[in-house]
A and B are shown apart, each in its own frame.
Chain A
């Protein structure tokens, strides 16, 4: 697969020429065969019949009758109907017919001969049949084939002409295609090189058409878009990880160093160690969330999909968080009048729903409403609506990003991966996470297609 582009265009042209040649041959062979079979064989056959009939005349009615018949045939002959007939005695001396002498080039034995003969002083392409009659005389019947030859020659000229034009147009077409391809490939090549060099914003030029290369360019551009987003995402995440991990790690380090320098009482030391362990737990929690996200992102979990009763699962989650809401003086209620079973991952769906309620508990002031509904388009909507500060329009896309924490969330616990996980789980199930204003508050809605078995 390492062949260069010019070879590929050239190969296409060659292939085209080859295929055309084969097509021509397939077209010409039957014609040639039919020609040979029908025209030549038939006329030879007719000559044989003539010879046989003349023999019959001789046998039944004698040599005089034969002479009369031959004379009549010569008489009846049309000028352009170049048939030859000659009756000669044992020593090949002509008796009657339209040839003056027995052609010397006819072999001595009876048979059918196709050749150039000297007849009546001129050279003629002909088929000749020589027969020895029952009284020992020799009969020669034949036909001029020069007329056939002309047609055949025309046929061959036509065939060679067609073959040549196929070859010429094939090579020219191949070169044109090659040049067009090289131009496009050159463009793609330049763009790709620019991207390799680090300019991820470069895109392929499109010529506004709907031809194959434009469609390809569109697809490649979409791919580049996705790659740029991913790379951007990775860059952001790396920065965010570094930042988010640095905080607990710094605290941890300071704590340990302080311990080693100040050497406080054993009791205080143990308390400090417990705090340090809690800091490490925060780091571990971040890693676990990241690993879970990676697990979801690679899509391998689709294989583990089982039927999940959505309403049941949401009811359990609401029941699970109910005591916390009560404790904080909030109402947490569930509205649902449907019965839905989807194919999904129960562990991840439970975690996603849990994260949404967790989140709502963090920001709500009095009330959280969970609604499960099915739209007429068969989309299952799981909404968690709070009456908190909500999310500004400009921030909605960002809160789903990994590690992003909205202004409102500064100072609240959490690692900034909750909504990313909900978004990733929803995507895994073929749906999307929609964040709407609940005025006041946030309506976070997981939209899952009812037939959610594929991404």
Chain B
């Protein structure tokens, strides 16, 4: 998997190169908007991580707009110190796939990068999802674990659906807040954890092997392999 990092801050760039390299990615790095633009256009990448404010005459959003106009669909994760709701909306509207505000935790970045790359791989919205012996039918809103029917509240259904769509990858609390509840703030209480443990009781209770695991310091992962 090949990534392009467009980031002018040396320390952040070094951190990203090292971390993502250890996560198994091949990295190209550009430290200006101009170089980033050239690389993005001429090479083929699995995903691009880019800063929003860049030196070199071309800022991040302009690069995205240009790439999208050109028909380039490479998933793009925007990193930015501009964290207002409006800034985020602007970033996503211009064609970015996700928006992460600086300062960020590396786990959050990795999880979101995984998510956007997966999203571009299976664009098809299947009406049924299956992870191990957990099965979800999106049309009839029916969930079964083995041959046992699991009864879920609408919001629990949505939570499970998101986890199943992102099976085998780490999903952070913030990602769940944003995508399942559409909340863009951090609750002071550990609400997400409580929701997850309730869901876990429903799907993993009596199952042969737990599917929903907690990943320390990062989030959760739904996976069939132990």
- How many A-B pairs fall under 8 Å by CB? 66
A191 to chain B, nearest CB (A): 39
Partner of A347, one of B105, B184, B189, B194: B184
A333-360: CB near B (< 8 Å → 1, else 0) gives: 0000000000001111011001100100
Which residues in B have their C-beta under 8 angstroms from that of A362?
A: 188-189
A354 touches B84 (CB 8 A): no
Nearest-CB distance from B96 to chain A (Å)?
Answer: 18
Instruction: Flag if B191 contacts A324 (CB, 8 Å).
Output: yes
CA distance A285 to B186 in the complex (A): 9
A320 to B177, CA, bound (A): 10
* Binary A-proximity of B172-190 (CB < 8 A = 1, otherwise 0): 0000000001111111111
Taking a contact as CB atoms closer than 8 A, the residue among A292, A316, A323 that contacts B198 in the complex is A323
Given contacts A320-B181, A324-B194, contact A301 B187 (CB under 8 A): no
Question: 1/0 per position for B65-100, CB-CB distance to A under 8 A?
Answer: 000000000000000000111100000000000000
Q: Is B24 in the interface zone, CB < 8 Å from A?
A: no
Query: Taking the nearest CB of chain B, how far is it from the CB of A354, in angstroms?
Result: 6
8 A Cβ contacts from A286-324 to B: 288, 291-292, 295, 300-301, 304, 316, 319-321, 323-324
Q: Which residues of A contact B191 (CB under 8 A)?
A: 320-321, 323-324
A414 surroundings in chain B (CB, below 8 A): 188
A291-B83, A295-B85, A304-B86 in contact; A324/B181 too (CB < 8 A)? no
Bound-complex Cα distance A300 to B84 (A): 11
Q: Nearest-CB distance from B217 to chain A (Å)?
A: 7
B119 close to A (CB within 8 Å): no
Minimum distance in angstroms from A434 CB to a CB of chain B: 22
B195 contact from A288, A295, A323, A346, Cβ within 8 A: A323
* Set B85, B185, B198, B217: member contacting A354, Cβ < 8 A: B185
Contact assessment for A316 and B181 in the assembled complex, using a CB-CB cutoff below 8 Å: yes
In the complex, what residue of chain B is closest to A323 when comparing beta carbons?
A: B194
For the complex, is B208 an interface residue (Cβ under 8 Å from A)? no
Confirm or deny: B141 has a beta carbon within 8 angstroms of a beta carbon on chain A: no
Is B155 among interface residues, defined by CB-CB distance under 8 A?
yes
A319 touches B198 (CB 8 A): no
* Residue A242, interface by CB 8 Å: no
Is A324 touching B189 in the complex (CB atoms < 8 A)? yes
B: contact size bracket:
20 to 34
B103 CB-CB contact with A under 8 Å: yes
Q: Shortest distance in angstroms between A216's beta carbon and chain B's nearest beta carbon?
A: 37
The reply on A231 being an interface residue by CB < 8 A is no
Is A277 among interface residues, defined by CB-CB distance under 8 A?
Answer: yes
Say yes or no: is A284 at the interface (Cβ < 8 Å to chain B): yes
Of the residues B103, B153, B184, B217, contact of A284 by C-beta under 8 Å: B103
A421 CB, nearest partner CB in chain B, Å: 9
Contact B189 A277 (CB under 8 A): no
Which residue in chain B gives the minimum CB-CB distance to A418? Answer: B188
One of B84, B103, B183 near A350 (C-beta < 8 A): B183
Is B86 touching A301 in the complex (CB atoms < 8 A)? yes
Residues of A within 8 A of B155 (CB): 319-320
Please give me the residue from chain A that is nearest to B86 by CB atom. Answer: A304
Across the interface, do A351 and B183 meet the contact criterion of CB distance under 8 Å? yes
Bound-state Cα–Cα, A274 to B191, Å: 22
A354 touches B187 (CB 8 A): yes
- Which chain A residues border B184 with CB–CB below 8 Å? 347, 350-351
Bound-state CA distance A193–B198 (Å) is 65
Q: How far is the CA of A355 from the CA of B188 in the complex (A)?
A: 8
Q: How far is the CA of A351 from the CA of B85 in the complex (A)?
A: 12
* Distance in angstroms between the alpha carbons of A362 and B191 in the assembled complex: 13
In chain A between 391 and 418, which residues have their CB closer than 8 angstroms to a CB of chain B?
413-414, 418
**Is residue A442 within 8 Å, beta carbon to beta carbon, of the partner chain?**
no
Contact mask for chain B residues 184-215; partner A; CB cutoff 8 A; 1 contact, 0 none? 11111111001100100000000000000000
Cα distance A291–B83 when bound, in Å?
8
- Select B217's contact among A274, A316, A348, beta carbons within 8 Å: A274
- When the two chains form their complex, are residues A291 and B84 in contact, meaning their CB atoms are under 8 A apart? yes
A347 in contact with B85 (CB, 8 Å): yes
Cβ B189 vs Cβ A358 within 8 A: yes
Q: Shortest beta-carbon distance, B203 to chain A, in Å?
A: 15
- B85 closest partner in A (C-beta): A347
Known A-B contacts: A320-B183, A320-B195. Give 8 more (CB < 8 A): A295-B85, A327-B194, A345-B85, A347-B184, A348-B85, A350-B184, A351-B183, A354-B185
> Could you give 28 example pairs across A and B, Cβ below 8 Å?
A274-B217, A277-B105, A280-B103, A288-B83, A291-B83, A295-B85, A300-B86, A301-B86, A319-B153, A320-B183, A321-B189, A321-B191, A323-B191, A324-B190, A324-B191, A345-B85, A346-B182, A347-B85, A350-B182, A350-B184, A350-B185, A351-B183, A354-B183, A354-B185, A354-B187, A361-B189, A362-B188, A362-B189
**Shortest 8 CB-CB distances between A and B: which pairs?**
A351-B185, A323-B194, A358-B188, A347-B184, A295-B84, A324-B194, A324-B189, A347-B85
Residues of A within 8 A of B (CB): 274, 277, 280-281, 284-285, 288, 291-292, 295, 300-301, 304, 316, 319-321, 323-324, 327, 345-348, 350-351, 354-355, 358, 361-362, 413-414, 418
